[in-house]
Amino acid sequence: MAVVDLQDEVIRKRLLIDGDGAGDDRRINLLVKSFLKWGHGASHEEGYTQYQRMLSTLSQCEFSMGKTLLVYDMNLKEMENYEKIYKDIENSIAAAHEKIAECKKQILQAKRIRKNRQEYDALAKVIQHHPDRHETLKQLEALGKELQHLSHIKENVEDKLELRRKQFHVLLSTIHELQQTLENDEKLSEAEESQETQMETETKP
């Protein structure tokens, strides 16, 4: 059973390998047949030509064997080459993965930085709306000085006013006193006159 399977396999493999493989097999069989014929051969010239022909077929077989050996070597070398390329590609894929991870970290960092900058900008905008502190201080100082100056003037004016009031008071009180004295004098003089007329009327009759 196993022998039959093996033969099947062999036949299958043989059928698969077309081209030179089948040709070579036929050639070897032909060589063996022609050798046997040559062995049994009669005439000398025919034998010589047959011998030449056999040598040529033999060299053809050797040639094709050499070719297949070279192809086999070439395939092995190609395999090695491909293995190398495959390993290189794998390495570069791993390196690329690492680079991607690095870049992702960098992106996160950059986003954080951008966020901080924007927060700063937002606050700065708000702060810019308010006027400068130096200016406000200066304005405050100037206003304070004005206030002082004005209050100084106000004090002066008030003092003057007080003084004038007092002077007016003095003037008015003196006027009143004078009026009083004048009235008193008038009254006195009137009283004196009435006394005199009284005395005159008393002495006359």
Kindly list the residues in this chain that would bind another protein in the complex (CB under 8 A): 108, 111-112, 114-115, 118-119, 121-123, 125-126
Min separation Cβ 96 and another protein, Å: 19
Beta carbon nearer to another protein, 109 or 181 = 109
Q: Distance (Å, rounded) from C-alpha 35 to C-alpha 39?
A: 6
Nearer to another protein, 123 or 182 (CB): 123
As to burial, measured by CB atoms within 10 angstroms (0-12 exposed, 13-18 middle, 19+ buried), residue 36 is: exposed
In terms of CB distance, is 33 or 114 closer to another protein? 114
What is the smallest separation between the CB atom of 120 and another protein, expressed in angstroms? 10
Minimum Å distance from CB 127 to another protein? 9
**Taking the complex as a whole, how short is the minimal distance between the CB of residue 116 and another protein, in angstroms?**
9
Nearer to another protein, 96 or 123 (CB): 123
CB 31 within 8 A of CB 58: yes
Q: Where are the beta strands (DSSP E) in 45-137?
A: none
Min CB(134)–another protein separation in Å: 20
DSSP codes joined into one string, 70-93 = HHHHHHHHHHHHHHHHHHHHHHHH
- What is the b/e burial string over 110-137, where b = at least 16 CB atoms within 10 angstroms of the residue's CB? eeeeeeeeeeeeeeeeeeeeeeeeeeee
Q: CA 172 to CA 178: how far, in whole Å?
A: 10
Smallest separation (angstroms) from another protein to the CB of 110: 9
DSSP 8-state class, residue 130: S
Nearer to another protein, 37 or 117 (CB): 117
77 vs 115, beta carbon nearer another protein: 115
Task: Report CA torsion sign: 194, 198, 203, 205.
Answer: positive
Give CA–CA dist 93/74, Å, rounded: 28
